[in-house]
Chain A
Amino acid sequence: MARYLHIVAILFFSLSLTAQNKGGLKLHFVHPTGDGKMLQLDSGFVFNQKDSMVIHSLRYYISDIKLFQNNLEVYSENGYHLIDLSDASSLNIALELIKGIQFDEISFNLGIDSATNTAGALGGALDPSKGMYWSWQSGYINLKLEGKCNVCPQFGHQFQYHLGGYLYPNLAIQNIRLKVNRKLGSELNIAFDLEQWLLQLPFSVQQHIMSPSKNAVQISNAAAKAFKVWDANKN
């Protein structure tokens, strides 16, 4: 009997938690392509000053979001979020914080950790029907970019980069930690700077990456470096 009493206790505890004062923080992801423009799927833009580019699909996982103040963790969430440029609502992640909490750094993962990669069929954002799971070799695709670029030689100038891999040495998950210099507000914009990242992609030499590899890790690393806190007024 005693065993079940603690279930009841947990229930009460979580009820009392929700009664506490909550503040919210909305993370909003933006995807600048240069010249103050934001990515529009399926519509062309110029990149690298001269090349034409169309992106049909950009999707990636953000997980394990944490906030720090003076290097001390003040908040963590163990959720998995699929950012999908074809679904505007997915660009926002709402965090429930205790009111008045201060933080000066945010950290999150780009991709899915190894343990989750070996946990079988999962639901929600992790459901394999989301198209972010490899079929013939188990594992999540952390980041998917598909489109066309005039420098791609083959297959109607198409490219497909499916980046993932949860086994060493081809471990593709990236941790991103950013300084946040802000007065307390309820929204934080985070940019995945495509103008910067696209320059690192091997469009003319390798148009398809569809499995874990050294290159996939390298490109994932370059993607992580392209994440920054975004000040809509300044940038």
Chain B
Amino acid sequence: MGRQQKLSFAMLFCILISVLAFIKTDEFTVPKNWPAPAYNFKNNPLNAAGIALGRQLFYDPLLSKDNSISCASCHLQYTAFTHVDHALSHGINDSIGTRNAPALMNLAWQSHFMWDGAINHLDVQALAPISHPSEMGETLNNVLEKLRTKQKYRTLFFKAYHDSSITGEQTLKAISQFMLTLVSANAKYDSVQRQQSHFTAQEKRGYQLFKTFCNTCHTEPIFSTYEFANIGLPVSKTLNDSGRLRITQKANDAFKFKIPSLRNVEFSYPYMHDGRFKKLSDVLNHYTTGVQHTETLAPQLEKPIILSSNEKVDLIAFLMTLTDKHYLFNPQFGYPK
């Protein structure tokens, strides 16, 4: 091999290495036996610098008009990133009234966001709270202006993108990067699946009931299909929230809401899109005796679900096995130091 040839091979090799370094997404691991994520990581490959930038942004009140509210104000880590004790976080859109902040986790597997699926991609989710007048009341453009004045952000953007121009695309993708890392897959349930621990007899009975009555919608291992369903909740006269219908304008989507994952459900109270139930027992009472029969009611709920009070206790015991302490207390998800 001539010297020049060697040199050009060496150069080619260097280019290859840098290309490979760029497309690696080691930062994201799909848990064993989970389906493939819906998020297209090719368009936004995770890397440590991007995640760090996104985490700063998530916790920074600079994203709101008066610099008082951050994403974390409504999405707290220790409550699975929901709004503690607030049935109704300030709504996203005036016309739909108010909704309960959902738990943020396993977002990479979702392709529609919000209870009605109004948001069609994780990257554009942050626009909704940033620009809503009763939430953060800011425009993305102003946020970018503010970020550009901060040396800290110019440095963080440069680290993440080798460019410190700070565009909307970069900002939104960084917030996505952080949110994509919020994976919860390490509850007792998971360790039982990995045969590292065992259900108690009660949890086992609860699991059987779950598989019989709940699993078609809250499907393992993510505990949701992320489809939309009407579970027959009485429609609140004041909110009159028609759910998915508002987006698709199809009559058969009336009162359908996105099926929430039940992971960490122990901590994500209050429950339902409007936070109407405080306790899991209230939720079960709805499924057994509260279901209203309307035209779009889910077929699974046409026939009444019958659960004795002991069975309800068993089912709740199973739901507790979905609590993932590793996720709730993971220091990497917390306020950035």
Contact = CB atoms under 8 A, between A and B. Distances in A.
Contacts of A118: 120-121
Contacts of B132: 135-136
Size category of the binding interface on chain B: 35 or more
Given A118-B121, A129-B141, A135 B130 contact: yes
Given A121-B169, A170-B249, A139 B120 contact: yes
A169 B128 contact: no
B59 to A, nearest CB: 20
Interface residues of A, number: 24
Nearest to B118: A137
B203 interface: no
Interface string A98-118: 000000000000000000011
Contacts of A137: 93, 118-119, 247
Contacts of B120: 117-118, 138-139
A133 interface: yes
Interface in A165-204: 167, 169-170
Given A120-B123, A167-B248, A127 B92 contact: no
Given A120-B43, A121-B172, A123-B167, A131 B128 contact: no
Contacts of B122: 120
A138 B124 CA distance: 7
B168 interface: yes
A118 B172 CA distance: 14
Interface string A203-228: 00000000000000000000000000
Nearest to B92: A136
A20 B192 CA distance: 64
B169 A122 contact: yes
Contacts of A130: 168
A136 B130 CA distance: 10
A120 B141 contact: no
Interface in B149-180: 167-170, 172-173, 176
Contacts of A127: 167-169
A4 interface: yes
Interface in B40-78: 40, 43-44
Contacts of B176: 120-121
Interface string B12-24: 1001100100000
28 contacts: A4-B15, A118-B120, A118-B121, A120-B40, A120-B43, A120-B123, A120-B176, A121-B123, A121-B124, A121-B168, A121-B172, A122-B169, A127-B167, A128-B124, A128-B127, A128-B140, A128-B169, A128-B172, A129-B140, A129-B167, A131-B139, A131-B141, A133-B127, A135-B131, A136-B92, A136-B93, A136-B132, A138-B119
